[in-house]
Structure 1
Amino acid sequence: MTGDRYLIVVPHGGTTGSWRERLTTIGRQHCLALTEGRSFLLLAPESALLFGRPGHLDSAVLGPIYARGGRTALTDLPDDDAGAAPGARAASLIQRYWGDYVAIIGDERGPTILRAPFGDLSCYLHRSSDATMLASDVALLESVSVEPAIDWHAVALQLIAPDIRRRRTCLANIEELACGERITLGPSPEYETMWSPWQFLGHEQQCDDRSAATERLRKVLLDTVAAQTSDGMPNLVLLSGGIDSSAVAAALSAAGREAAALTMVTRDAAGDERAFARAVAGHCRFPLAEMVRDPAMVDLTRSEACDLPYPTETSFSQATRAAIRAHTGSSGHRILHGGGGDQIFCSMQSAAPLADLIRAKGFDRRIPALTLDLARLANATAGAVARQALARVISRRSAYRWPSNLECLTPMVCAQESEAVSHAWLSPPAGAGSGSAGHVALTLSALGIVQSPTRSTGAPWKAILLSQPVIETCLSIPPWLWFERGRNRAIARRAIEDLLPHGHVWRPGKGAMASFMIEIFDANRSRLRAMIGDGLLVREGLVDREVCLKVLDARGPIKGNAWARLLQFADVEAWAASW
């Protein structure tokens, strides 16, 4: 989260007088200035971009906003579309700018609120009997007497499909305005989706040339990273040695930004990436700190999502955050990571890209090489990949089937599976390819990485690859171009290849941290037994107590993945206890 806090109050009936004194007091407590608009009141930093008619606040943009192709945040925003309908003004903002903003667009019928596509500034909404309130965080809603309560039905949906973000949060009566969505607050609120990944996947928008796609992605990646780090704040890169975090380091170095790097190491050799992290940090001339992950740094009873309206943060990340605090002390570093890179750079393992190529181009000369690349990636035969691709072409099936997790859940919760795995982005338009549908599904899963907590981190925490221009560029690249040399994410690898040590981007794999999570599980069996066996999820009928205890009481080597499921339940228990 960027730290640009705000609270918008839209009184029902348009009378703002009764709210002024109350919001003035709240503003003093949170160091926010009160501004009155035509039909709304706004608490926000004095640096917020305000624009409208002279002497009359019409609209505002909260949070950093950038012009397309620009490398610094804007300090002024001309209202060229004054007088246009709110929908047209919202569309203009999305087309001409990008960033972590929330925009207020004034209108006679009531204000329209727009959240930027993939913007790291949330917009939580609550309706009371006398006003609609929108805020950057739940704490500001609480300041105007909103009393959060857990919505257990929403929690059940979260347990089935944790990577799908919904308008309905896990706190009752608190909604979230989705990225790229606007709401018009008139007599009857109206939602409208202003941005969808499917806008960039038609054949007219796609760039079916490997060199051109590489140059396009390189430019937008370097521009957006430079823009987001142009404020002079010290940067700390979480450097795993993999492609995505290496891309962040490479882009920072190319922009001339100073940064330090931190790599986290497991005791098990499978999660020790120090050699790769050292190579990248040395090439970029960033000082590198190395920290060993220690289960003693993790307290399962403490939630890393204590300031969010959904349990999306993991307890094992406490070790990383403890290492960050030890390394940076009290200095105000911005924490940068490569989260979401797998998703937007099309890290899939499927025959779907081959099916898309056949459907779009017929018997294209690239089919044999792509078939071999996909087979090598999946450790399968070329014949098996070809058969699966042809089956997809014949069936013309394109919809992506979202994977649900029903493990250890009660029948009551399992019955909600279809609701949990539904999302507008998962309904492809006519003629869409299954590879494109898979890329959109990956992009959807990245939405949960955009928003980061602030109370538990104490510093801005940024998935810097997940900017609107980068995502749009990635979506405009056909699925079949993302595979080369038996690797996925090929265009991203090509885009940064010359900015990193020779051969680094084509390395075959990356270390895993599963061993660290197993260490946490083993060290906390008794605590997990109490948290889950006597916890809220069991009490509310969401989790099968006996199945969970059977996993916890099993002796001998840990098998399967049920241990990871129980750690997830512990994260939800800790989050629920924080409310």
Structure 2
Amino acid sequence: MTEGYLAEFALDGQLDERSPENLIHRAPGPWRSRTFEGLTIHVSPSTAFRQIGRTVIIGQIFGDLAVLQRADLHPDLLVAHCWGNYLALHMSESGHPTWLLRAPLGHLPVYTAAVAGRLWISSHVPELAAARAVRPQIDWSFVATHLAFLHLKTAQTGLVGIEELLGGQWLDLAVEPARRTMAWSPGMFVRTDIEIADFADASRSLADSIDEAVRCLADEGKVLLELSGGLDSSIIAAALARCEAEAQAITLSTGSAESDERIYAQAAADAASIALTLRKVGISNLVGPARSREARPGLPVILGAADEMLAKEGTAQAITAFFSGAGGDCVFATPNAAGAATDVAIRSGWAARSTWRTIEALARYHNASVWSVAGRARRRLARGANDPADWPRTRGYLADTVPLPDAPLHPWLIETSGMLPGKRDHVHAILASLAHVDGYPRHAIAPTRFPLLSQPVVETALRIPSWLWVEGGQDRAVARAAFTDRLSDLIRDRRSKGALDGYALAAIEQQAEELLSFLLDGHLARQGLLDLARVECALRERARRADPRAHLLLPLIDTESWLRAWLGDP
């Protein structure tokens, strides 16, 4: 493990070193340890660990660190002045822990488990389970919810008794029971009084925030950028060039035309003066043993071969961090059919020139008529505010006998009902992207940094009105303008996007026989969760690109693989 920690709190007084339950000292490897009153912390050798004033910081933290010296430091104050991938633990005057905070949008996980007056926290579930000396049990209610509500990650994990502290959430240890509260949420940055309404100002602010995020996150050694040649990863490459980081890039090809982005990746690398390595990956083994045990299904199995290749390259180059442009589509507000038009119509009225300029921009982007876009916007407006629980729900391959669960509420969703519809879509997209940043087996080699999903970048993006992102009929228009002088014309003006649809469908087709046994005789099937006839039909028919039945097999495969990591083969 390259980045990790394990800690134990005594919620009912002093830790009893003689207690048979106190197994915290079995922390793996040569970890560094610190003991406070009622608190013991272990961190891996490569994890930053320091105390400033009464606050202990585990992981990366940037910003105005002087605020940490304040004896009366509150989580609200900390998130207003600092950002990063950290866990903050604040102590009372007597040295007893009073609260802990996970960084907003921080990618250092915080899993919690409370048993018999003690609270365990860890970045990794296997270490947490070992410290508790309790064999993990699958929460089958989570499994059904996970399959019904794709891309929605909440505090619930797939293991009984283990929860996750969300980014921007803090745990008040001074009350009984400990209380969770949000110190940061998107609603804080969609207010009109802090809106960046001018396009030029928005592009400058976005460029500054990306440069800051990349500079800070890269200041830790040697980084390897996953460079696809798309706009998002190319922007990261451009920012890396400016901060003089020790960086190299890698692009992966599956051999199919739709995923071959080598010409774009090379153009991006040349513009940033970054060395580029080209590697080809084969089809992932969809039924092989899971490479890691996670709190919930993590890296999609279809990306397993790519993850292995990146881990191999990272080892060979002795890197200290992977860099990824993941989340850029969501943070840069890639438009749906009419959200931006609805927003500007609400703000300025249907007769306003700005409204029709946005409608025309969306029509150009979607290759549709202005009347069809205007009609969608009017219908969207007529629907009114969404229910906070209105997250897309699918039965997928769940058996008809399985009741479809209610959506698990996320704190962000509660506040989106009062937002403009397009901005609500923006927040939902960012939330969905956060479901896909954990559980990478290559993190055993080095952590992954996601600059476009960092607090400075997301806060800036949220302050930009939805209609500016489609200026001129372009998607991600503000981001394109922000880096217009640092990208090659080939990248800046690119409208196509690499895809893995063919790669995924080929993997399913080639391994259909193995998948039949894997799914029909697996844990999901034995729990009675699957419509076995529909699963078998989907696997025996030739997969077609536009057929959602084939694509819905992928989360099913991921979940079965995750179950086998914990339970073994059925």
- Amino-acid identity (%): 28
Q: 1:164 to 1:555 in 2, by over 3 A?
A: closer
Which residue of 2 is the match for residue 71 of structure 1? none
Partner of 2:191: 202
- Residue 556 of structure 1 and its aligned partner are, at CA, apart by 7.8
- Cα contact 2:307–2:442 (8 A) shared by 1: no
Q: CA deviation at 1:78?
A: 5.6
Structure 1 residue 386, shift from structure 2 partner: 1.1
* Aligned position for 2:310: 324
Paired position in structure 1 for 2:76: 91
Measure how far apart 1:327 and its partner are: 3.5
Which residue type is aligned with residue 50 of structure 2?
L
Task: Give matches, 1:254-293, under 5 Å.
Answer: 254-293=242-281
Q: Is the 8 Å Cα contact of residues 281 and 306 (structure 2) preserved in structure 1?
A: yes
* Equivalence for 2:139: 151
Cα distance 1:490–1:404, how it changes in 2: closer, same or farther (>3 A)?
same
Work out the CA distance in 2 between the residues paired with 1:343 and 1:558.
23
**Could you tell me whether the CA contact under 8 Å between 2:83 and 2:456 is conserved in 1?**
yes
**CA-to-aligned-CA distance 1:508-534 (integer Å, 9 cap, x gap):** 121211111112111111110011010
Query: For 2:301, what is the secondary structure of its paired residue?
Result: coil
Letter in 2 for 1:97: C
Partner of 1:64: 60
Query: Which residue of the partner structure matches residue 192 of structure 1?
Result: 181
Q: Are 2:9 and 2:119, in contact at CA under 8 Å, matched by a contact in 1?
A: yes
Cα distance change on mapping 1:251 and 1:455 into 2, 3 Å: closer
Q: Separation in 1 of the partners of 2:301 and 2:383?
A: 43
SS of 2:249 mapped into structure 1: strand
Where does 1:346-361 land on structure 2 (aligned, <5 Å)? 346-361=333-348
1:252 aligned to 2:240? yes
Task: Give the aligned residue type for 2:12.
Answer: G
In structure 1, what is the Cα distance between the partners aligned to 2:168 and 2:545? 43
Residue of structure 2 equivalent to 1:375: 363
Separation in structure 1 between the aligned mates of residue 394 and residue 543 of structure 2, nearest angstrom: 25
Identify the match of residue 469 of structure 1 among 442, 456, 468. Answer: 456
Identify which of 300, 308, 312 aligns with 2:294: 308
Q: Report if the CA contact (8 A) 1:321-1:457 is conserved.
A: no
Question: In structure 2, the residue corresponding to 1:235 is in which secondary structure?
Answer: strand
Letter paired with 1:100 = N
CA distance in 1, matches of 2:428, 2:215: 28
Amino acid at match of 2:213: T
Kept in 1, the 8 Å contact 2:8–2:24? The answer is: no
Measured after TM superposition, the shift of residue 415 of structure 1 is 2.1
Summarize the Cα distance change of 1:16–1:325 in structure 2 as closer, same or farther, 3 Å threshold: closer
Tell me the residue number matched to 1:406: 395
Please state if 1:105 is matched with 2:74. Answer: no
Distance in 2 separating the partners of 1:558 and 1:282: 34
Q: Is the 8 A contact 1:293 1:516 kept in 2?
A: no
- Deviation digits for residues 223-244 of structure 1 (CA, Å, limit 9, x no counterpart): 110110012x222111111111
Q: CA deviation at 1:341?
A: 0.6
Return 392-401 or 456-465, whichever deviates more. Answer: 392-401
With normalisation by structure 1, the TM-score equals 0.90
Contact 1:236 1:259 in 2 (8 A): yes
Q: CA deviation at 1:558?
A: 6.7
Q: Which amino acid aligns with 2:231?
A: I
Residue of structure 2 equivalent to 1:415: 404
**What is the CA distance between 1:38 and its match in structure 2?**
2.9
- Conserved? CA contact 1:266–1:515, under 8 Å: no
Matching residue's letter, 2:61: I
Give the whole-Å Cα distance in 2 for the aligned partners of 1:525 and 1:287: 39
Distance 1:148 1:466 in 2: 31
State the alpha-carbon separation in 1 of the partners of residues 331 and 557 from structure 2.
29
Against the structure 1 CA distance between its residues 81 and 410, is the aligned structure 2 distance closer, same or farther, given a 3 Å change threshold?
Answer: same
SS of the counterpart of 1:552?
helix
Letter paired with 1:199 = M
What residue is the counterpart of 2:230 in the other structure? 242
Deviation of the 1:351 alpha carbon: 0.9
Matches within 5 A, 1:156-195: 156-185=144-173, 186-195=175-184
How far 1:430 sits from its partner (Å)? 6.8
2:482 to 490, 495, 503: 495
Q: Quick one: structure 1 residues 383 and 330, their matched pair in 2 at CA, closer, same or farther if it must change by over 3 Å? A: same
Change (3 A) 1:140 1:351: same
8 Å Cα contact 1:66/1:99 also seen in 2: yes
* 1:554 matches 2:541: yes
Match of 2:42 in 1: 43
| Offset of residue 219 of structure 1 | 0.5
The answer to whether the Cα contact below 8 Å between 2:110 and 2:121 also exists between their aligned partners in 1 is yes
Q: Secondary structure at the match of 1:61?
A: strand
Counterpart of 1:386 in structure 2 is 374
CA contact (8 A) 1:241 1:277 kept: yes
Verify the 8 A CA contact 1:354 1:367 in the aligned structure 2.
yes
Query: Mean Cα displacement is larger for which, 178-187 or 385-394?
Result: 385-394
Counterpart-to-counterpart distance in 2, 1:168 and 1:351: 33
SS at the partner of 2:56?
Answer: strand
Distance change (3 Å), C-alpha of 1:219 and 1:187: same
1:132 Cα deviation after fit: 1.1
Residue 471 of structure 1 and its aligned partner are, at CA, apart by 0.4
1:8-47 paired onto structure 2 within 5 Å: 8-18=7-17, 25-27=25-27, 29-44=28-43, 47=48
SS of residue paired to 1:562: helix
CA gap 1:251/1:414 in 2 versus in 1, 3 angstroms? farther
| Matched residue type, 1:50 | Q
Separation (CA, whole Å) in 1 of partners of 2:24 and 2:501: 49
1:532 aligns with 2:528: no
Gap regions ≥5 residues in structure 2: none
Shift of 1:161: 1.6
The answer for the alignment partner of 1:55 in structure 2 is: none
For the residues of structure 2 that align with 1:555 and 1:215, how far apart are their CA atoms?
A: 49
Query: CA 1:315/1:430 → structure 2, altered by over 3 Å: closer, same or farther?
Result: closer
2:277 alignment partner AA: A
Q: Which amino acid aligns with 2:17?
A: S
Contact 1:110 1:184 in 2 (8 A): no
Q: Deviations over 1:318-374 (max 9, x none)?
A: 221232244344443222111111111111212121111121123433223211111
Contact 1:308 1:453 in 2 (8 A): no
CA distance in 2, matches of 1:414, 1:505: 47
- Output the CA distance in 1 between the equivalents of 2:500 and 2:41: 44
Contact 1:399 1:437 in 2 (8 A): no
Verify the 8 A CA contact 2:299 2:438 in the aligned structure 1.
Answer: no
Moved more, 121-130 or 448-457: 448-457
RMSD of Structure 2 on Structure 1 (CA):
2.4
CA pair 325-167 structure 1, distance change in 2 beyond 3 A: closer
Distance in 1 of aligned mates of 2:141 and 2:178: 24
- Structure 1 unmatched ranges of 5 or more: 53-57, 69-73
Q: Structure 1 residues 134, 445: CA separation in 2 closer, same or farther (over 3 Å shift)?
A: same
Does 2:119 align with 1:132? Answer: yes
CA deviation after TM superposition for structure 1 residue 143, in Å: 2.8
